[in-house]
Structure 1
Amino acid sequence: MNIEQTVSAAVAGLQLGNTFTLDDLRHTVQDRRHRRLRIVELADLDTHDGLCALWFVADAEDIVIHARSDSALHRQQFVLHELAHMILGHCDGDDCTVGEALLPNIPPYTRGRLLSRQDLDSETEIAAESLADRLAAGIRGAMFAESAYSEVFG
């Protein structure tokens, strides 16, 4: 299956329709993963550091930590990219385990996620960004549907 087919199947599998809110998406991801999902901005993390967001898997919850940005859309894209990894099942199971010798005090799942982020041209990263773009379009569609935007701007 190619990336576009994978992304389309993932969007359809969410069963959110064409428009939805970020809260709708967050609740759906929580329900599907049977885990609490927290999204936290880390004020000291800046995109100039080369890191936009991280997905940590704790014992009972998923935590997405994202960098600060003056643009709300930019921050949203950071978060959507990490949610896309969850939705696509990236790193589920043992796919991302890294030898304990490298980072013994960090859980294997988290080690794998942190270390695998270096390959931005991988199919996994491209699929996550493509899905994040599709999710952003659904959220934008909900914002426009809930407002008089189309009436005003056509």
Structure 2
Amino acid sequence: MTLRDKVSAERNRPIRLVPLAMHGSGLSGLWLETDDADLVVYEATTGAQHRNHIIAHEFSHMLCGHTSTEAVTDQAATLLFPDLDPGLVRRMLGRGGYADRDEQEAEVVATIMMERLGRSDPGAADELPAAEADVLARIQKSLRRT
């Protein structure tokens, strides 16, 4: 059983791992919570150890009860909806950004998980349903502009 399987069972919903070339955007990972699944998007061009840490970091946000990244920051809002003002997107979705405390907590939990698991692979990348693939295509298109 992979780490993804365990977190998925804890949350009682599927988790899809999605590699995405983020083209130097400053992002290395995102957790997008959809109606049907949690998407963990990670930098496609990074090494295996860094990839696993990014994924563990996003899993940590889930396990710690944080809010998903879906359009919570200006950068994520711009990636998802490049033609709209990021502030408007946040207000429409009624979400705020990760608090620094949440980021620190997720990083500590991810580090502990990785130390305990060693070099365990969280699982393979997934094929996405059309609606989720469309959102990721918009993110990738937006990243190419940066």
Q: TM-score, normalised by structure 1?
A: 0.58
1:116 pairs with 2:93? no
Superposed counterparts of 1:46-85, under 5 Å:
46=23, 48-85=24-61
SS of residue matched to 1:45: coil
Structure 1 residue 102, shift from structure 2 partner: 1.3
Aligned residues: 105
Superposed counterparts of 1:4-153, under 5 Å:
23-42=1-20, 44-46=21-23, 48-91=24-67, 102-103=88-89, 108=93, 112=95, 116-117=97-98, 122-140=100-118
Deviations 1:111-133 (A, max 9, x none): 73xx615x5xx111000000000
Q: Distance in 2 between matches of 1:53 and 1:130?
A: 16
Residue ranges of structure 2 left out of the alignment (5+ in a row)? 73-86, 122-146
Q: Percent identity?
A: 28
Alpha carbons of structure 1 residues 142 and 59: separation in structure 2 relative to 1, 3 Å: closer
Q: TM-score, normalised by structure 2?
A: 0.61
Q: Distance in 2 between matches of 1:141 and 1:39?
A: 17
Q: Distance in 1 between matches of 2:92 and 2:109?
A: 27
Larger radius of gyration: 1
Regions of 4+ moved over 6 Å: none
Q: Distance in 2 between matches of 1:55 and 1:73?
A: 18
Instruction: Calculate the aligned-residue CA RMSD, in Å.
Output: 2.9
